[in-house]
Amino acid sequence: METAKKEQRVLDPRIDMDRLPRHIAIIMDGNGRWAARLGKTRAQGHEAGARGVRLAIEACRELGVDALSLYAFSTENWRRSATEVNTLFRLMSKYIHKEIDEIDKHRIRVRFMGRWEGLPARAVKDLRYCIERTQNNRAMDAIVAINYGGRAELADAARAIADDAAAGRLRPQDVDEQMIARRLYVPDHPEVDLLIRTSGEMRISNFMLWQISYAEIVVLPILWPDFDKQALCDAIVAYQGRSRRFGGRPETKRKGASC
């Protein structure tokens, strides 16, 4: 990614800019509880959550993080009421139209992670527009997980490999970790360094199961609509305080690892 270190504004002096996580993933949780606490509707909770999305993208860009993955709608979220599902997709479309100029101006590339099948036509149109318009940007990748499930992603990768094997393009004995990683939805960012979850819940919820194998997990006690740049910095400081061993000894440095 084309980050110029000198231009980076340090948001928090505690952050060591030489050991930033390259890929941050966020499970945005707590919109409903935030709304209930304030006597608001769930729709208002999600609306307030959209502000957190903007702040997370802005802060990651200002710091010089390469990629930010956001869990916006899971394969399990279809179980919510039709009203809430419609609200979420309407909100995503509204967000795209409101923020696209700013996103593009800052040279952020928006990418999609999930299954296109089953998405409302309007959401597909707006997402495709956003992806195509920003496809040449290289300052940072903002990867939105929509109709996404970690198990579904691995099943899709397995099916693609099985198709290739059946067609004689590969042999079963050639299947290895790299081959699976290359068939993930966004294959050029196969590793997450830092996984953040808000609302205090200690769950992975089927998010990026392959990519988080060696991620540091930071659970923040705040609800997603209260997420701000300081919360992101707090998570990065916690991440930088960890000793990442990747299954090896404390001094082990993994090739390409940022911390």
Q: Which residues are catalytic?
A: 29, 77
Among 24, 50, 161, 184, binds ligand FPP (CB under 6 A): 50
Query: DSSP labels for 144-169?
Result: EEEEE-HHHHHHHHHHHHHHHHHTTS
- Confirm or reject binding of residue 33 to ligand FPP (CB under 6 A): yes
- Confirm or reject binding of residue 144 to ligand FPP (CB under 6 A): yes
Distance from C-alpha of 65 to C-alpha of 235, rounded to nearest angstrom: 13
Three-class DSSP category at 67: strand
Dig out the tokens for 44 from the structure.
Answer: 């208002």
Contacts of 128 (CB under 8 A, 6+ apart): none
Among 15, 23, 30, 127, binds ligand FPP (CB under 6 A): 30
Q: Which residues pair with 144 in a beta bridge?
A: 70, 112
Among 29, 66, 191, 216, binds ligand FPP (CB under 6 A): 29
Dig out the tokens for 145 from the structure.
Answer: 């997980």
Three-class DSSP category at 79: helix
Residue 24, φ and ψ in degrees, nearest 5: -110, 135
Of 89-97, 116-124, 169-177, 184-192: span binding ligand FPP (CB under 6 A): 89-97
* 95/112 with CB nearer ligand FPP: 95
* 21/30 with CB nearer ligand FPP: 30
Q: Binding to ligand FPP (CB under 6 A): which residues in 214-243?
A: 224
Among 25, 60, 65, 92, binds ligand FPP (CB under 6 A): 92
Of 5-13, 48-56, 103-111, 128-136: span binding ligand FPP (CB under 6 A): 48-56
- Confirm or reject binding of residue 53 to ligand FPP (CB under 6 A): yes
Of 22-30, 55-63, 236-244, 248-256: span binding ligand FPP (CB under 6 A): 22-30
* 127/157 with CB nearer ligand FPP: 127
Closest CA to 207 of 84, 131, 120, 114: 114
Of 28-36, 102-110, 111-119, 232-240: span binding ligand FPP (CB under 6 A): 28-36
Dig out the tokens for 227 from the structure.
Answer: 């997420």
Closest CA to 156 of 114, 191, 112: 114
* 118/241 with CB nearer ligand FPP: 118
Distance from C-alpha of 216 to C-alpha of 197, rounded to nearest angstrom: 11
Report the interface residues with ligand FPP, using CB under 6 A: 28-33, 46, 49-50, 53, 72, 77, 91-92, 95, 144, 224
